[in-house]
Amino acid sequence: MKLAFSTLGVPGLPIPDVLRLASTHGYHGVELRTHPEEPVHLGLTLAERADVAAEFKASGVEILGLAGYVRVAAPGDDEPVLTELRALLELARDLGAPFVRVFPGGGTDQSPEEADATAARRLGRAAEFAADYGVRILLETHDSHRTGADAIRVLGPVGHRQAGALWDVMHTWLGGEQPMDSFAALSPHLGYVQVKDIASTEDTTPVALGAGVLPLGECVEILSRHSWDGWLCWEYEKRWYEAAAPLEDLLDAGREHLARLLNESA
């Protein structure tokens, strides 16, 4: 498996510094948080996109994916959601990123069935132009659809290779789902896996990998046992927890912890 980290852990850091961190600390790739406050966002010109792609290529570090904020199950008209998603896919194509992350984002005024149908309809339409761009849309286990069982209610009806799953191991676990059940549901659709660790079920402050309560060893063992050979991406949510330790200080130990788990499960 290849290792990456998300720029959510180093909010606003310029791309050359992100690449320096990845290269110095032995990570193969980076998940780019795609938001207006970040260096990579939907407003980049074609020239700026070419510059970012060239910087990554020269460094030897891969762009794992773009972590966007489209909410595919959100109430309302389809077209604004599809327009934003198409723009995200175009950005990924221009940068050479294989994946884009979307959230479910179902509303409290929807029934689960309505949210499922809305998300499936939009992902089915978006998957068609995602195929033209050579990019895969990944629905993250998050918010209204935080477990694998929730996500599969959307992805099953879509039935398109370009619409897959991003397994956030924190959300499935907090949703009461065992790692084996999450993997069983998501594995036919799995794009990559977001790993992290938190202080407790009541306190989701990010901590160093292995220092918290999440069953990372069990998750990695399941992936290895089933010969899954994709990406593990450390999503350290520094952006939302200013008091959390700097990610830069934890990158070496985090890589070593994941390598140890991989060796133990080999």
% pLDDT > 70, the chain = 100
In this structure, the dihedral spanned by the alpha carbons of residues 152, 154, 157 and 161, taken in order and rounded to 10 degrees, is -80
pLDDT at 135: 98
Which tokens is 58 given?
């020269």
* CATH at residue 220: 3.20.20.150
pLDDT at 62: 98
pLDDT at 264: 85
Q: How many domains are there within the chain?
A: 1
In angstroms, rounded to a whole number, what is the distance separating the alpha carbons of residues 96 and 199? 35
pLDDT band at 219 (very low <50, low <70, confident <90, very high): very high
pTM for this model (two decimals): 0.97
What does each C-alpha distance from 63 to 33, 98, 128 come to in angstroms?
11, 8, 22
Q: What is the mean pLDDT of the chain?
A: 97
Collapsing DSSP to helix, strand or coil, 68 comes out as strand
pLDDT at 265: 81
Is residue 115 a contact partner of residue 150, using CB atoms and an 8 Å limit?
Answer: no
pLDDT at 266: 66
pLDDT band at 10 (very low <50, low <70, confident <90, very high): very high
Each residue's pLDDT tens digit, 98-120: 999 999 999 988 999 999 999 99
Q: Which domain holds residue 196?
A: 2-265
Each residue's pLDDT tens digit, 37-83: 999 999 999 999 999 999 999 999 999 999 999 999 999 999 999 99
Q: Give me the mean pLDDT over the 147-160 stretch.
A: 97
pLDDT at 187: 97
Q: Give me the mean pLDDT over the 160-170 stretch.
A: 97
Is residue 73 a contact partner of residue 106, using CB atoms and an 8 Å limit?
Answer: yes
pLDDT band at 247 (very low <50, low <70, confident <90, very high): very high
Q: Tell me how many helices (H) and strands (E) the chain has.
A: 9, 8
